[in-house]
Chains A and B, each alone.
Chain A
């Protein structure tokens, strides 16, 4: 079974930042890279430090794709698929995310 969960208004995420949402008991990092309505969602836990911090990382562009750099040791995780730029054996879960009527929704 799958469903979309509404997490917050789009405007409550400052452009170029992320927030953390609680979705079905999971910590989800939701990112809004720019003024536009495009959002991304991945798991909030930094797998290296095992701390829930990814939503507080800086969004960055490398190899023409968007990533978030962990605020702890700066490993970068792909916003689309959760893969790690520094270590191909590590990745975090990535989720579907969208904006509907000004609200951000996440699909686990």
Chain B
């Protein structure tokens, strides 16, 4: 059987989405699929392009799962550009001379940035903002520049301005129109946005028509001249003045194109040639092209269906958007400028908190036509559902945008009011009924719903709504969300924490009697032990709690595979004196311990017999060390780079801060282990963004990132607050740490905790920075108590005779474990393998 040949030109977001959708739907044995990818890498997420500046890995942005193309036998020609299409012969030639034949061709060539014809715009200081290569070039230039300007105050322009700001250059935005984001906002909304953006230090110039860029200036490398005679000196310029459909190839092969550009398509996304489709930004439907990703995704679906002879059609797209630009929440729905004849508006303006909301309703007041939201987009999802599903407005439509304190009650549209067909996630076209189905199939968390339906994995704007639907469905189905820690307690860790704290419960036995049943197990015991330790800062070794602790916590070392322990003294911030090193070396030699620098910038000694631990620690403590809590679910360490004290690039004293923070939080028991990082400049040598708490120095203070994670599932930390002075930083950290300790489930790293926190990082900001829950005083005082009661667990243990008795291997003999056997390796020792120690074991037995 001859396979049908599908060729896709373009491997952007939409081109890739088509392949994904097709792979899902089709019997791939019947098709041979080839894709042209002109860029040097496969499809990546252009919507979140700016995030590239904060993590610098193209992989992070990639949309293609590793091995995806190979697995489905899809050939992707990376770096190859389709030069010509011969529709008569049905063949495409690329710049390498390759000829690829097709039966069906899908054009997904996207768009190109349009740059106005300004004299001087070809200078090497001029850029566009579209690909990872563009970003690399902008960043390299920003490093040797002081002032950058973005021409274009639209959505993408402001996104670019945010990136320039983050790169640390003085940032200007030039807009031709009298208002920012003229496409999406009305005049007043644009003004409010401008105020907010200016307040964070971005300079906005509207109504400016750039005429010329001259490659000289007094304070910068270039001078921009405007039509009104004014001028601005800048080092480099980023153009973000709109996009145009990439239809060059279509024109070359004679396909019909639209007047304003774009390959003309019908409702099946077919071009004037029935064997050629066009999807995404390169396509023009009804003389319109769509610069958003969601309509492109819909077109991709339509084409996949059409090739497989299933019915589907493209019927236009909703261009509503909700985004965060330069930290400002902005939302725009439907007819934002109120252009519908006889429409009426309701406006809410709060200059105090810089909030502007306007809704545009139909003449009869029954349907919502559009909305503009600046500064507060909480009602976005609700409003969007009114327009998308044409739901009749309440009697007083203004109740939809009035704040809660106005007293008109919760005007939120209950999710029950939404029809099953309501689109909840527009990026992936997920309907309310899809989510309901996933819930019935047993997916009961946001994470599971995202994985199952794809909802919320695009722009993420619909997550609050998904959460509502999820909860409503769960309640409807009588499903009780269970996060009981085990069979012995029908409570979550968070609930147990509150019970213990509020009722002042001090022992496991007391808690079990009152709230649990049975004896307890290896799950609830250490969990409760950890809560008791963080609530009451009791010495973790008090014998009442002994039976609750994992062996690591009892013997204050990490048990290794052969039953020996590791010894890791604290070296706060990675600092150690030569004298300290000598003391560590002497102990290691005396007890023949394997010695290694750990991943946490400190020295680990391995292979210590339990019975030797007290003597080893006695010596280390005498030399000024204390326990490093490497065995505990607690703050492990603060990794630091050398910082401004020594480094010629450093802008703040990262080691000093790291040492101070490590000493502040050491010993505090947390739901899982925690790691900090402090970098002295933006080069980020301490890899702080991969830590639970990451702090990066800026010229004017510290940026605080939280909830990152290395390990099994690496996760970049998210920015909680920027340019903090040390006092504020420590205050936020106190709150953050205690809030995590209070609310996280057992063995939940901060990254997972944040993912499950509904509202995510924005909610966390509200709690930590804005005191939304009103608990910050309490969190701070709890932390102060915990800090005040810190003691070195090893120092305490060494003075406790009853505990020390338990360090011998046998209760009734002074012998050591004869099954602990070592083999020399690279000048040190390692645990012997089974076959290496078998003979030794035999001899021992014979002696007995």
Contact = CB atoms under 8 A, between A and B. Distances in A.
A89 to B, nearest CB: 18
Contacts of A30: 811
B16 interface: no
Contact of B806 (A19, A51, A53, A57): A19
Interface string B515-550: 000111111011000000000000000010011101
Interface stretch (B83-91, B472-480, B557-565): B557-565
Contact of A14 (B488, B526, B543): B543
Interface in A43-77: 45, 49-53, 56-62, 64, 66, 69, 71-72, 74, 76
Contacts of B561: 49, 51, 72
A59 B508 CA distance: 14
Interface string A13-33: 111110111100101001001
A34 to B, nearest CB: 8
Contact of B563 (A12, A25, A52): A52
20 contacts: A8-B811, A8-B812, A12-B811, A13-B811, A15-B547, A16-B548, A19-B806, A21-B812, A22-B810, A25-B845, A27-B817, A34-B519, A56-B554, A56-B563, A57-B522, A58-B521, A60-B520, A60-B521, A71-B550, A72-B563
Contacts, number: 96
A17 B815 CA distance: 21
A69 B819 CA distance: 20
B522 A58 contact: yes
A27 B543 CA distance: 24
A81 B548 CA distance: 23
B810 A20 contact: yes
Nearest to B819: A52
B518 A61 contact: yes
A100 to B, nearest CB: 15
A14 B547 CA distance: 8
Contacts of B520: 60-61
Given A20-B810, A52-B817, A72-B561, A59 B551 contact: no
B522 A21 contact: no
Interface in B173-217: none
Contact of B812 (A7, A60, A66, A74): A7
A22 B845 contact: no
Contact of B525 (A34, A53, A60): A60
Contacts of A52: 563, 809, 817, 819
Interface in B423-441: none
A17 B811 CA distance: 13
Given A12-B805, A16-B546, A27-B817, A56 B559 contact: yes
Select the residue from A14, A16, A72 with max chain B CB neighbours within 10 A. Answer: A16
A58 B550 contact: yes
Contacts of A71: 550-552, 559
Nearest to A32: B547
Chain A interface residue bracket vs B: 35 or more
B813 interface: yes
Contact of B546 (A14, A33, A57, A72): A14
A69 B551 contact: no
A51 B563 contact: yes
Nearest to A60: B521
B437 to A, nearest CB: 35
Interface string B828-840: 0000001000000
B309 interface: no
Interface of B: 487-488, 518-523, 525-526, 543, 546-548, 550-552, 554-555, 559, 561-563, 805-806, 809-813, 815, 817, 819, 834, 845, 848
B559 A76 contact: no
A60 B519 contact: yes
B607 to A, nearest CB: 13
Contacts of A14: 543, 546-547, 806
A51 B547 contact: no
Contacts of B543: 14
A58 B562 CA distance: 18
A35 B93 CA distance: 84
A64 to B, nearest CB: 8
Given A22-B813, A58-B550, 8 more contacts: A17-B546, A19-B806, A27-B819, A52-B817, A56-B555, A57-B522, A60-B521, A61-B519
B819 A58 contact: no
B522 A60 contact: yes
Nearest to B610: A56
Going nearest first, the 9 A-B pairs with the smallest beta carbon separation are A16-B547, A60-B521, A61-B519, A69-B522, A25-B848, A56-B551, A51-B563, A19-B811, A71-B551
Most buried by A among B522, B548, B809: B522
A58 B367 CA distance: 63
Contacts of A45: 819
A66 B563 CA distance: 23
A51 B522 contact: no
Contacts of A19: 806, 811
Interface string A77-92: 0000000000000000
Looking at A7, A57, A60, A69, the one whose CB has the most chain B CB atoms below 10 A away is A60
A61 B559 contact: no
Contacts of B834: 50
B563 to A, nearest CB: 4
A11 to B, nearest CB: 10
A53 to B, nearest CB: 4
A3 to B, nearest CB: 15
